[in-house]
Amino acid sequence: MSVYSKLLIENICARISELDATSRQQVFERVEAMKNEDGKNGNSPPEPKTERRLCVYDLMGSGKGLWSEGVDEFIRKERESWEEREAAWS
């Protein structure tokens, strides 16, 4: 495995570890579904000698719902904290 691939996997694992249990389970279910789909289509992972270089576009669409939920929650909490600060300053 290339150094780039290892770093990419470490980055993904670190981000998954930051998720709550429900979100992690959803990620694992999605990965499992993708693995099952690859098996049905006859696709298999590339051989080590023919490993292609990974790109950020390979992750396109993965976890879109998970990340947007986290962002919405973050924004909601930030807005609430602003309201609390404004009330304290008044």
Higher pLDDT, 88 or 6: 6
State the Cα–Cα distance between residues 26 and 22, nearest whole angstrom. Answer: 6
Q: Which two tokens stand for residue 36?
A: 């099952």
Q: What is the pLDDT of residues 19-53, one digit of tens each?
A: 888 888 888 888 888 887 765 655 555 555 556 67
Indicate whether 81 pLDDT > 80: yes
Structure token digits, residue 38: 């690859």
Sequence-distant (6+) residues with CB within 8 A of 45 are 38
> Global pTM?
0.38
